[in-house]
Amino acid sequence: MEVIHTVAELRRRLNGEPAIALVPTMGNLHDGHISLVDIAHDHGTCVVASIFVNRLQFAAGGDFDRYPRTLEEDCAKLEAAGCHVVFAPDEKEMYPVPQEMLVTPPKSADQLCGDFRPGHFQGVVTVVSKLFNIVQPHAAVFGKKDYQQVHVIRTLVKQLNFGIEIIAGETIRDPDGLAMSSRNGYLTREERAQAPQLYHALRRVRKAVEAGARDHRKLEEAEMTALSQAGWKVDYVALRNQSDLAPPGPRDTDLVVLGAAWMGSKTRLIDNIEFSFYVK
Ligand code: PAF
C-alpha cells in the first residue's frame, strides 16, 4: 500500500489504472469505514482511500480542531483491508489558495442536518468534487449512516455529470445497536451507555409505521420528547421518502427514519433506518 500526500504524485501513481474505487474519509477509521473498503474491492481493481479532515464542512467553533487525526493507525487498518493507495493531503495541498469556488448543494440539503449545520453540505460537496477530480475514480463508496450526505452526493454526481458510480454501504453497528462513528470516541462512559437510545427511538418509529400508524408528525414528536426527557438535545427525528428525502404521503412505502441529537454538550450523533413495507 502506498501513502501519498500530493496531488501530483497521486496522479502519477493512478495514471493508467483501469478501474479506481474511492473511499473518501476523514480518518479515525473504524469497522464501518473498513466495510466500505471491502465493498470498494468489488467495484475497482485499485482501491484508493482518502483521509482529509475538511475544514470547509465544519462550523466555526465546531469540532474541527479536536477531530481525531490518527494517520498511522488508519494506514495500518487500510493496509490490512487490502487498500492499494492512501491519499492523505494536508490543508495546503487541498486548499493552496482560499477556496472561493464552492459547489452549491441542492434544496434537499437545507433540511434535516443542513438546517442545523448551515454550510456543512456545501463544504462536503465542494471537497468531494475536488476529490473526484483529483482521483478520477470509476466508483466511490460512502456510508449510509450519513444518509443525507449520500443523497446530496448522488445529486451532485447526477447534476454535474460526474461519470462515477456511487455505492452506499450499510451502517455498521456495535452489538448494542449504536452506529459506528468517529465521534463515538467523544462520549464519556455514561454517555456511551445511553447512546443506543437514539437507534431505539428510530426503531420505535419504524415499528409504529409498519403497524399502520400514519400520523408521522405525532410519531416524530413522541420520540423527540422521549429523547429530550432522557437528557438528549434533539435536532430532529424525521420520516422521509428514501428517493428524495421529502416527507412521505400516506401511500409512500419506501421510507427512512432519520435522527440527530446531542448527547452531552460535545457529541452530536446521527443515525437512520431504511425500511419498506407493503400497503394493501
Ligand atoms: O463522510 C465523511 O467522512 C466526509 O463528509 C467526507 C465524505 C469524507 C467529505 O469530507
Distance CA 263, CA 232 (A): 5
Query: Does any domain span residue 248?
Result: yes
Is residue 229 over pLDDT 80?
A: yes
Q: Residue 185: its pLDDT value, please? A: 95
Q: What residue's CA is closest to ligand 1, atom 1?
A: 25
Average pLDDT (215-241) is 98
Length of the chain: 280
Question: Per residue in 77-126, pLDDT tens?
Answer: 999 999 999 999 999 999 999 999 999 999 999 999 999 999 999 999 99
DSSP for residue 183: G
Q: Is residue 160 located within the same domain as residue 194? A: no
- Indicate if 66 and 155 belong to the same structural domain: yes
Nearest atom, ligand 1, residue 124 CA = 9
User: Comparing C-alpha atoms, which of 139, 129, 130, 114 is closest to residue 160?
Assistant: 129
Same domain (yes/no): 97, 153: yes
Atom of ligand 1 nearest to the CA of 128: 9
Backbone angles phi, psi at 170, to 5 degrees: -65, 155
What average pLDDT does the chain have?
Answer: 97
Q: State whether 159 and 199 are in the same domain.
A: no
In testing the pocket of ligand 1, which one of 23, 26, 30, 268 has its CB within 8 Å of the most ligand atoms?
A: 26
Inform me whether the pLDDT recorded for 222 exceeds 80: yes
138 found inside a domain: yes
Q: Mutation test of ligand 1: which of 86, 146, 150, 164 has the most ligand atoms closer than 8 Å to its C-beta? A: 146
How far is the centre of ligand 1, averaged over its atoms, from the C-alpha of 64 (Å)?
13
pLDDT-derived band at 262, boundaries 50, 70, 90: very high
- Taking the CA atoms of residue 204, residue 194, residue 265 and residue 205 in that order, the dihedral angle to the nearest 10 degrees is 0
pLDDT at 279 over 80: no
pLDDT surpasses 80 at 280: no
Q: How far is the CA of 208 from the centre of ligand 1 (A)?
A: 32
Q: Place 265 in a pLDDT band, splitting at 50, 70 and 90.
A: confident
User: Tens digits of per-residue pLDDT, 2-34?
Assistant: 999 999 999 999 999 999 999 999 999 999 999
Its pTM surpasses 0.85: yes
> Residue 198's CB: how many other CB atoms inside 10 A?
26
CA of 215 from ligand 1 middle (Å) equals 34
Which residue owns the Cα nearest ligand 1 atom 6? 25
Which residue's alpha carbon is nearest to atom 5 within ligand 1? 124
Mean pLDDT of 156-172: 98
% of the chain residues with pLDDT over 90: 97
E strand or H helix at 199, and its extent?
helix 197-210
- Mind telling me the catalytic residues? 33
Amino acid identity at 186? Y
Residue 164 near residue 175 (C-beta atoms within 8 A): no
Answer whether residue 40 is part of any domain.
yes
C-alpha 197/C-alpha 235 separation (Å) is 15
Q: What is the CATH number of the domain that holds 192?
A: 3.30.1300.10
- 174 within some domain: no
Pocket of ligand 1 from Cβ distances under 6 Å:
24-26, 54, 57, 124, 127-128, 146, 149
CA of 210 to the centre of ligand 1 (A): 32
Residues 69 and 204 in one domain: no
The backbone torsions φ and ψ at residue 92, rounded to the nearest 5 degrees and listed phi first, read: -65, -35
Using DSSP, state whether 196 is helix, strand or coil: coil
195 C-alpha to center of ligand 1: Å?
Answer: 22
Domain that holds residue 210: 188-270
- Is the residue at 280 inside a domain? no
C-alpha cell recorded at residue 265:
454538550
Rounded Cα–Cα distance for residues 38 and 59 (Å): 31
User: Strands across the sheet with 2-4, in order?
Assistant: 2-4, 85-87, 46-51, 20-25, 139-143, 165-169
Say if residue 200's pLDDT is above 80.
yes
Domain count, the chain: 2
Examine the domain organization and report whether 100 and 230 are in the same domain: no
- Mean pLDDT over residues 131-137, rounded? 98
pLDDT tens digits along 231-253: 999 999 999 999 999 999 989 99
